[in-house]
Structure 1
Amino acid sequence: MIQQRAVQTRRRVLQAGAAEFARRGYAATTLTHITRTAGVTMGAITFHFASKRALADAVCAQGHRITREAVAPGGGAGRGLQAVVDITHALMLLLGENDLVRAASRLGGEVGDRNGWYGAWLPHLHAACVRAGREGALRAGVDPATVTVLAVGLVAAAETAALQAACAQAGTTTAAQLTRAWRTLLGAVAPPDGAPGLSP
C-alpha cells in the first residue's frame, strides 16, 4: 500500500513537473510551483528527486521514451514517404497534447540536451526518408537528406508559439496547417505518379 502510494506520488510529481516546465521553462519553474500543481509537499518531491535538475532529467527521459514509441518502426507509420508524413503528424500531436513530450522538447534547448528529444525521433525520420529514396518514392533529383531537413523544419515550427499564433491568425489548427504544408511539399518531392497514393 505504501509502495503503491509512493509510485502514484512520483507519477503526480513527474506530470506536474512536465506541465510546469512545458509552460514556464526550466529557469522560471520552481519546486514550489511543482508542489502546488502536484498537490504534494516539498518533502514528497525531494524524496523522489534530489533536485530540480533531477526532476527535469526524469521528465525528459519519459518524454523521450513516449516520443520513441510513437515514431519507431511498427508504431503505425506507413512505408517510405508516407512514414515521413506520419512521423511529423505523430510528433505534432504529441507536442500539442502531451506535457512530458512538450517539456522534453523545451528543456532540451534550455538545459543543453538538444540532441535528447531530437535524438528520440530524428534517426527514425531520416531512416524513413532514406527508405523512400530506395523505394523510388522521391522525385528524380530529390535527395533524402533534403526531405529530412524539410520534415525537421515542420516539426521545429510546431515547437514554437509562433506557429500557433500564425494558425490562430489564419483561423486554422496546427494539424490542419501541417496537412496543407504536406499537400504542397508532396507535390514537389514525390514522383508525379506517386503523390496521389499518399495522404498528407
Structure 2
Amino acid sequence: MVKQERAARTRQALIRAGAEVFAQEGFAAASLSAISRRAGVSNGALHFHFESKKALAEAVEDEALKAMREIVQEASARDGRALVELVDATHGLVSRIAEDVVVRAGFELSGDPGRGEGPSLRWEWQRWVEETVRRSEEDGWLARGVSADDAATAIVAATMGFEVLGAEDKAWLSEEKVTGFWDLLLPRLTERHAQVRAIRSRQARVGAQRGEPDPVGG
C-alpha cells in the first residue's frame, strides 16, 4: 500500500510538473528531462509512469477534462436551470483556469499545433455550451428572436477567448472580466436576466453562510 501511494504521488507530481513546463514552453519545446527535474524524480521514474511525452500530455489533458466535467456537474447540482448553470460554469471554468496550471495546460495542449491532434477539451466545452443553450431555449429562457446557435457561438468564443488571452495576461481570467461579459450579454440573451442575477446572488449568500467560495463570481 505504501509503495502504491508513493507511486500515485510521483505520478501526480509528474503531471503537475509536465503541466507547468507545457504551459511555459509549449508541447514541442518541452523536454522530459526538464519535467523530471521539476518533479524531483529521475528520468527513469518518469518513463516508468509515462512512455513518452505524448502520453504525459494526454494525462495532463485527462486531468483537465475531469476538472472541467466536475465544474459543469457542480453547476447543474446547484440550481438545475440551464441558463443559470451556464453562467455559473463559465465563472467556475475561467477561475479554475486561472488557479490550476493543470487545467490551464490541458486547454493549451488541446490547441497546440505541435501535437497534431484535435482540440478535445475545447470541443467538449463547446458541445456542453451548445447543449445547455438549447436546454435554455426549450425551457423558454431565451428571449424571442435570439438564436440558440448564435448565443452558443458568442459564449464559446468569449470563454475560450478568455482562456487564450489569459495565457499572456492573467487579467483576462479575472472574475470582473467574466462578470462584465455576462452583464453585457444577459439582457440581450434573456428577458429573465434580472431573475438570473437574483438566483446567482442568492447562491452567493448561501455559499458565504456555509463558508464556501462564491460559486458564480460577483
1:137 Cα deviation (Å)? 0.9
State whether residues 71 and 77 of structure 1, in contact with CA within 8 Å, keep that contact through their aligned partners in structure 2.
Answer: no
Pair 1:185-2:185 in alignment: yes
Q: Secondary structure at the match of 2:142?
A: coil
Q: For the aligned residues, what is the CA RMSD?
A: 2.1
Match of 2:126 among 122, 126, 146: 122
1:163 Cα deviation (Å)? 8.1
1:140-169 Cα offsets, whole Å, 9 max, x none, are 01011111111101111111236864948x
- Inter-partner Cα distance in structure 2 for 1:24 and 1:76: 37
Against the structure 1 CA distance between its residues 138 and 119, is the aligned structure 2 distance closer, same or farther, given a 3 Å change threshold? same
State whether residues 16 and 38 of structure 1, in contact with CA within 8 Å, keep that contact through their aligned partners in structure 2.
Answer: yes
Q: Secondary structure at the match of 1:95?
A: helix
The sequence identity of aligned pairs, in percent, is: 31
Counterpart residue type for residue 137 of structure 1: W
Against the structure 1 CA distance between its residues 65 and 157, is the aligned structure 2 distance closer, same or farther, given a 3 Å change threshold? same
Q: Secondary structure at the match of 2:119?
A: helix
After TM superposition, the score normalised by the length of structure 2 is: 0.81
Q: Which runs of 5+ in 2 are unaligned?
A: 201-218
Against the structure 1 CA distance between its residues 105 and 77, is the aligned structure 2 distance closer, same or farther, given a 3 Å change threshold? farther
- Inter-partner Cα distance in structure 1 for 2:20 and 2:103: 10
Q: Which runs of 5+ in 1 are unaligned?
A: none
Pair 1:160-2:164 in alignment: yes
Q: Indicate the residue corresponding to 2:142 in structure 1.
A: 138
- Inter-partner Cα distance in structure 1 for 2:153 and 2:97: 19
Pair 1:81-2:79 in alignment: no
State whether residues 92 and 158 of structure 1, in contact with CA within 8 Å, keep that contact through their aligned partners in structure 2.
Answer: yes
Q: Indicate the residue corresponding to 2:100 in structure 1.
A: 98
- Inter-partner Cα distance in structure 2 for 1:166 and 1:36: 26
Q: Secondary structure at the match of 2:150?
A: helix
1:69-110 Cα offsets, whole Å, 9 max, x none, are 211373536512222211211210121111221111111111
State whether residues 63 and 102 of structure 2, in contact with CA within 8 Å, keep that contact through their aligned partners in structure 1.
Answer: yes
State whether residues 59 and 103 of structure 1, in contact with CA within 8 Å, keep that contact through their aligned partners in structure 2.
Answer: yes
Q: Indicate the residue corresponding to 2:26 in structure 1.
A: 25
1:66 Cα deviation (Å)? 1.4
State whether residues 79 and 128 of structure 1, in contact with CA within 8 Å, keep that contact through their aligned partners in structure 2.
Answer: no
1:124 Cα deviation (Å)? 2.2
Q: Indicate the residue corresponding to 2:14 in structure 1.
A: 13
- Inter-partner Cα distance in structure 2 for 1:138 and 1:17: 42
Q: Indicate the residue corresponding to 1:148 in structure 2.
A: 152
Against the structure 1 CA distance between its residues 46 and 94, is the aligned structure 2 distance closer, same or farther, given a 3 Å change threshold? same
Q: Indicate the residue corresponding to 1:60 in structure 2.
A: 61
- Inter-partner Cα distance in structure 2 for 1:75 and 1:103: 27
